[in-house]
Amino acid sequence: MSIQTLPPYPYLAVAPGRVNMLGEHVDYNDGVVLPAAIDRSVRVAAQPRSDRQVYLTALDLNESASFDLDHLAEKRTLTGKPLPAWARYPAGVAWALQEQGYAVNGVDAVFTSDVPIGAGLSSSAAVEVAFAALWRQLGGWDASAMTLARLSQAAENRYVGVNCGLMDQFASAHGVEGHCLYFDTRSLDWKPVLLPAGTVIIIANSLVKRSLAESAYNERRAACETAVELLKPHLPGIRALRDVSTEDFARLSYLLPEVIARRAQHIVEECARVEEAVDCLNRGDADGFGRLMIAGHASLRDLYEVSCPELDVLVDTAKSLPGCLGARLTGAGFGGCTVNLVEESAAGQFIQSLSDEYTRLTGKQTEVYLCRASRGAFCQAQ
């Protein structure tokens, strides 16, 4: 996907997609994650209106929609038709902002994106955060990046109807160039962590649609909750699996049914991997960080069982290529993307070799994106 030319409207809002470097499936276990905003983004050109109406054009879809800010709960266009799915993200943001008392302007807005849709790179969160940043600029009100992220999440949870965590919107709103973001999903504390010098992030899209992801996601979430209930009598202070140490889990895992134990083991060890990864990055140990990415993939494949053959081919191939420090699936799994940390000097050959080998082994095509960790969302007058 490429960014299309936007009209010369007076305001431009930009919000990046994100990739999760480590800490997969731990956000709904109150855990710590390591996402990075990437230099693929949603861009919104806008001009304010004097009425309470919003006119949207999605250039990439070649579609338009409109709605009234005073009738958002109806989820209908100005002509009375149901709002198309893509328009519910900006409409949901307007709804969430107004519910919290923020003034929202009528606007003409045109947007485009080079964040691939359905690849696990948070294209929807980028749309939400871009519009939140736009309305903050137009309204002249004061709200932190975390406030924009939380209201964008509320839009997706309560208006669009997708039960996502906060990580995607957080990363899009808070990105720091050259850094991943250590984010505690319980306390909302965060800090930027410098990625190794001379490396790039390469994302490989398996182009496998995540058809099983929703039902499997619900099953795994339920398994984690069951594990907590079974461990609580022996660890009375725990509220989520993030509260279980690797030592306590090793001592008590016999109490859990086999499948529940495997799911819980991934979460407990993945939380520990994130903490160890931050130590590696702070020491400049790129090899150590890469090994933790590879271990994370093995855990997602064998314990959490959310990989698929195509993702495994991408990871196994990447590990064998010169310059690859780490590789793993990123996102929910069952398709979507892998993330690779690669020495910049080897990036070109890595991309070519990974693409060729994936096609040879699977008979399928892949899309590979060279990315860098980027700044978070902003809006500016043009």
Q: Find out whether 56 and 127 touch, Cβ atoms under 8 Å.
A: no
* Parallel, antiparallel or unpaired: strands 53-58 and 367-371: unpaired
Please give the single-letter amino acid code of residue 197.
A
Other beta carbons within 10 angstroms of residue 344's beta carbon come to 15
C-alpha 199/C-alpha 120 separation (Å) is 22
Sign of CA dihedral 260, 30, 41, 7: positive
Q: How far apart are CA 205 and CA 226, in angstroms?
A: 33
Residue 373 DSSP label: B
Question: Are 46 and 107 contacting, i.e. CB atoms less than 8 angstroms apart?
Answer: yes
Catalytic residue among 27, 168, 189, 285: 168
For this structure, is 168 an active site residue? Answer: yes
Contact between residue 32 and residue 350 where contact means Cβ atoms under 8 Å apart: no
Question: If you search the block for the tokens 């016999």, which residue do you land on?
Answer: 254
Query: Which is it for the CA torsion 30, 208, 125, 70, positive or negative?
Result: negative
Instruction: State the catalytic residues.
Output: 168
